[in-house]
């Protein structure tokens, strides 16, 4: 009886530890979604500042990046503490690794937003090009939708939604190429050319943000299938074993 009681007690403690582990894992995933909301706000604010020339909003976007950085660090520390106490099984480990990678992608998207905001301020006194602004309005909207789709797909483990990000990203890539061609075709006006050159960097930031969203979709596919695969070919830079590393 003593042996059985000892086994029962050990088993119950094991169950409690596993339940506690899953509670912590759920909390970490909730933190990730909250970080996604902050990143989405940064993207919306940077886009609005760009399209309207609102340098005050651009400044708030830059300052707000500290919140995303803090969230990124707290989530990373939470994962480290969880792994230090627990030895997750394969399926749980996939989620932990995916959370770490999505956490990084969100922080990098927020960094792209800061760059857009800084360029908006630098280009404030230069004459904007209406055609290019219309293109950016389209791209900004598509990039926001990609981030929403990516985070929702991750939360619900929706493989089809995750895979749909590839087509959405291609539309952004096409718009980015149009923007580049339009800047090259600008006339001799020095101010317009300088504004256009700054906007090429903005266009690149938006394109990279879209790439990051595709990376998040790949993490969703990894969770659902247990295998990592890139949605696109070698047209993107690759680093690491769970996703692309883009600047």
Please report, for the chain, the start and end positions of each structural domain, with discontinuous segments joined by +: 2-225
Residue 19 has pLDDT above 80, yes or no: no
Q: Would you give the DSSP letter of residue 127?
A: P
pLDDT tens-digit series, residues 67-123: 999 999 999 999 999 988 877 788 889 999 999 999 999 999 999 999 999 999 999
Q: What phi and psi, each to the nearest 5 degrees, are found at residue 88? A: -70, 150
Residue with tokens 């790439």: 211
Work out whether the CA dihedral 128, 134, 139, 145 comes out positive or negative: positive
Q: What is the pTM of this model?
A: 0.85
The top-level CATH class assigned to 2-225 is mainly alpha
Q: Is the distance from CB of 231 to CB of 163 less than 8 angstroms?
A: yes
What is the model's pLDDT at position 201?
94
């Amino acid at each position: 009886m003593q042996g059985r009681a000892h086994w029962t007690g050990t088993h119950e403690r094991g169950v409690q530890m596993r339940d506690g582990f899953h509670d912590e894992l759920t909390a970490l995933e909730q933190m990730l979604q909250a970080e996604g909301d902050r990143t989405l706000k940064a993207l919306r604010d940077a886009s609005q500042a760009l399209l309207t020339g609102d340098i005050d909003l651009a400044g708030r976007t830059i300052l707000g990046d500290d919140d995303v950085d803090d969230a990124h660090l707290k989530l990373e520390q939470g994962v480290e503490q969880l792994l230090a106490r627990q030895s997750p099984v394969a399926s749980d480990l996939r989620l932990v690794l995916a959370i770490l990678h999505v956490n990084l992608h969100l922080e990098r998207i927020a960094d792209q937003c800061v760059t857009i905001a800084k360029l908006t301020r630098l280009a404030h006194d230069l004459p904007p090009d209406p055609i290019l602004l219309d293109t950016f309005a389209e791209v900004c909207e598509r990039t926001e939708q990609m981030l929403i789709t990516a985070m929702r797909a991750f939360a619900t483990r929706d493989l089809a939604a995750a895979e749909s990000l590839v087509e959405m990203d291609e539309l952004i890539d096409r718009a980015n190429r149009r923007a580049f061609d339009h800047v090259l075709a600008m006339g001799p006006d020095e101010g317009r050319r300088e504004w256009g050159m700054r906007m090429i960097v903005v266009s690149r930031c938006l394109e990279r943000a879209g790439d990051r969203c595709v990376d998040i979709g790949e993490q969703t596919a990894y969770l659902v299938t247990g295998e990592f695969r890139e949605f696109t070919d070698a047209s993107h830079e690759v680093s690491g074993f769970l996703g692309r590393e883009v600047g």
